[in-house]
Each structure stands twice: as C-alpha cells, then as structure tokens.
Amino acid sequence: MAKLKINKLVVIGVGLIGGSFALALKRARAVKLVVGVGRTQANLAAALDLGVIDEATHDPALAVEGADLVLLAMPVGQMPAVMRRIAPHLAPETVVTDAGSTKRDVIAYARRHLAGCLAGFVPAHPISGTEKSGAAAAFPDLYKGRNVILAPLKETAPAATRLVRSAWQLCGARVLRLDATEHDSIFAAVSHLPHVVSYALVNALARRRNARQLFGFSAGGLRDTVRIAGSSPEMWTDICIANRDLLLQSLSDYEDELARTRKAIARGDAAQLKRLFEAARSAREKWLVKTR
C-alpha cells in the first residue's frame, strides 16, 4: 500500500459515516485538512469541538475548491442537489466518492450531474454503521475489519479508484468490488429488508392499546430484533425508495416465508414448523456466525 497523503479532504454530511472516515484518516496521519459541510450549525459545531473536522461551512461549492478527495456522506436523497452544486467547482484532479447504501441511483445521479467529472468519481459503500447518527457518534474504529464495496464506472480513472481504495484500507477496511446492480440486490436482502422488518415489528406492537405494558415485558430477544429500528428514518426512507424494485422482491420472498410459517402454525403442524426453525438455525450457524 503506497503512502497516502491527502492535503484537503472534504466531508459533505458529517455524521457517523463521514465523521468516522475523517477520524480514521486523521489518526493514520493521511490527511492535512478536513473541511466539513453540513446543514445544521449544532452538528458542525460538535464536529469541530470533537476534532472530527478542522473547518466547517454550509456551502459545498466553496468547500470543494482545491480538494484532493470529496466524500459524499449525506443521505442519498440529497445527492442530486449536492452534485449539481459542486460540479462546476471540481478541479480535474479532485476525486469524488460516496458512502451511499445504494449504488444504481447514485450512479444515475452522477451521470446526470457530474457528467464532466466521471473519471474522478468512485461510487462506494462502506458496510458499517450503528443505529446512532450525528458527528458525536463518530469514532475512528468504525471501519476496522469491515467491508467497503467499490463500484467504479467504466469511465472512472484507475488512479481515482486506487486513491479511494487506499483511503478505506487506511481506515482498517477490506475493500471489494461489485457491479452496482449486484450490490443493490445483495443489500436489498441483507440490509434493507432487515430494516423494514425491524421498523414494522416495533410499529405492530406500538399500535396496540397496551403498547406500554407490552414493551415493559420485553426481553433481550425483542430488543435485539428491533435494534436497527433506531436507525435514521430519513436515511432509510431514501434507501428504501432508491432501491425499491429489488427491495420489494426481497420483501415478497420474506412475506412468502412468513405465510409458510403461519400455515404450519395454523394447522398445528409441529413437524413442519420444527423443520422450518431447524433450517433457519442451521443456516444462521453455517453462514452468519462466521461474519462479524
């Protein structure tokens, strides 16, 4: 891995994701100046206080002047406006990457709004995060041992991809490549669907008249199952809408599986129900326990 030196890093959207990227690169001494761009004064002030960023501004166009690397780390729904705003101010050598959880939509936005700068654009997705958000939640080890997916375009310059790969590797991540559609299909299943499942489970209980009593009797099982229902509603709305075709396919598979389980319960078919539960337990042990 070549020594990486970024003179100016611009993080647009200084939350958990963008803030942790900045902190990790600062700790690695790979960056001189971090400029944070955000909408709310309070969050930018916190980011400055905590040393996540060195300078703050509300204006992305101003921020990207002379930048080596720009990370778009705001909710995907804000991508088109931000891209439109920064495009005229990007130098030819500036590399732009993103941290969006969906890739086909981000690429479509880039083709529309960053048309002249595609050689410097590296679509990416760090597979990490917690249910917390905001600059105060950022920490430099967020990406340690985690996967980061790169989905470079045919127009992307190899040097731009190398820069982004090096930056993520310095954060401790394992960098992989996927085609954008393959990426979106995989994450519809393993990430977007579980969020929908988790939000819906909380709402199904919360709608009941005795919701307070119900939650009072809950134990670790429910708590873990709905942990990700604490995730940012804004971000997850954008993701679900952006990836809706593939998410709806995954949701259908899941609804079919629930219907299969319901039938076994309704028939009192213990043998079939046990087969379903055993299949789930063994799949989880075989595949999931290995991952972190």
229-288 positions binding its own copies, by CB under 8 A: 229-231, 233-234, 236-238, 240-241, 244, 247-248, 250-251, 253-258, 260-262, 265-266, 268, 270, 273-274, 276-281, 283-285, 287-288
Q: Would you say 159 or 206 has its CB closer to its own copies?
A: 206
Rounded to a whole number of angstroms, the minimum distance from the CB of residue 287 to its own copies is 3
Q: Would you say 26 or 183 has its CB closer to its own copies?
A: 183
Rounded to a whole number of angstroms, the minimum distance from the CB of residue 178 to its own copies is 9
Q: Would you say 115 or 206 has its CB closer to its own copies?
A: 206
Q: Would you say 1 or 271 has its CB closer to its own copies?
A: 271
- What is the distance between the alpha carbons of residues 140 and 24, in angstroms, rounded to a whole number? 4
Q: Tokens standing for 165?
A: 């790969």
Closest CA to 146 of 124, 162, 163, 161: 124
Q: Within 13 Å, how many C-alpha atoms sit on residue 225's CB side?
A: 12
Q: Would you say 56 or 180 has its CB closer to its own copies?
A: 180
For its own copies, the binding residues in 26-55 under the rule CB under 8 A are none
Count residues contacting its own copies (CB under 8 A)?
91
Q: Is 187 in the site for its own copies (CB under 8 A)?
A: yes
Q: Which of 128, 143, 148, 150 binds its own copies (CB under 8 A)?
A: 128
Q: Would you say 1 or 217 has its CB closer to its own copies?
A: 217
Looking at 64-72, 79-87, 164-172, 203-211, which segment touches its own copies (CB under 8 A)? 203-211
Rounded to a whole number of angstroms, the minimum distance from the CB of residue 167 to its own copies is 20
Q: Would you say 45 or 280 has its CB closer to its own copies?
A: 280
Q: Is 207 in the site for its own copies (CB under 8 A)?
A: yes
Q: Tokens standing for 199?
A: 């939000």
Q: Which of 66, 77, 80, 172 binds its own copies (CB under 8 A)?
A: 77
